[in-house]
Amino acid sequence: MSLAGKTAIVTGSNSGIGYGVAEELARAGADVVLNSFTDRDEDHALAENLAAAHGVTVRYIAADMSRPEDCRALVDRAGACDILVNNAGIQHVAPVESFPAEKWDAIIAINLSSAFHTTAAALPLMRAAGWGRIVNIASAHGLTASPFKSAYVAAKHGVVGLTKTVALETAEEPITANAICPGYVLTPLVEAQIPDQMKTHGMDRDTVVREVMLARQPSKAFATTGQIGGTAVFLCSEAAAQITGTTISVDGGWTAL
């Protein structure tokens, strides 16, 4: 399928799942806006390399998704937004009674509120273009919970609720809103959780990966960033035009348990 002529904004896309989604959208022919909160030469080089690999236009726009005005400015600066992928996210693991309040606020801002702000800014552009796709990267934790992840689970359930609401508000238009719910994908965000989990559970790395992280992923395999990107491309296809307001799990069977 070809997404030629479409512009996709992917928040939090200088690494991990966001970059994997950007790669698949570029492979399908979309022009892409990469984003994170940093503004380094390597961020812009990432955009140049992706453009060269797929013959599309790729820009890197720095914007901090913890700041509402930056979220809206990202869309404004992009100038077009046919495909919006809300992917930026952070994690913190701690029991609820000792969960730092500033971590709670940051997770809600970056993982949930940013999707509200970018969506609000992008919808007028989609309506003007007569076509739009909103793909929110939620999580298996948007559908189920785990201990020690109160803010993340709350934010991801919120993303699923936001997705359904936006889908209803756009239901009669050629715009869809869906959420992808990945299980564990091996990215820097997951890598960063391993030391905390080792400490919390008193286990070595291999045991924590198999017994704790992949304990609820029946496939016992991490999903890949390419698989999440491929799912996003499918949601942008004509075959998915009547898929809206729902979640697609890419979780090796996690939510079937």
- CA dist 256 and 18 (Å) reads 25
Residue 184 makes contact with ligand NAD by CB under 6 A: yes
What distance lies between CA 169 and its chain's CA centroid? 21
Closer residue to ligand NAD in complex, CB, 129/189:
189
Query: Which lies closer to ligand NAD via its Cβ, residue 16 or residue 158?
Result: 16
- Give the shortest CB-135-to-ligand NAD separation in angstroms: 12
Angle at 83 (CA atoms; ends 149, 227), nearest 5 degrees: 55
Count of residues in contact with ligand NAD, rule CB under 6 A: 27
Q: Is 182 in the site for ligand NAD (CB under 6 A)?
A: yes
Residue 93 contacts ligand NAD per CB under 6 A: no
Kindly indicate which of the ranges 15-23, 39-47, 48-56, 235-243 contains the residues binding ligand NAD, using the contact rule CB under 6 A: 15-23
* Alpha carbon separation from 151 to 103, 218, 237 (Å, rounded): 8, 25, 33
Q: Edge-to-edge strands of the sheet including 7-10?
A: 58-62, 31-36, 7-10, 83-86, 132-137, 175-182, 247-250
Q: How far is CA 130 from CA 32, 75, 121, 126, 162, in A?
A: 19, 17, 15, 6, 21
Q: Which of 137, 143, 166, 248 binds ligand NAD (CB under 6 A)?
A: 137
Give the interface with ligand NAD as residue ranges (CB under 6 A).
12-18, 36-37, 64-66, 87-90, 110-111, 137, 139, 182, 184-185, 187-190
Catalytic sites, residue numbers: 152
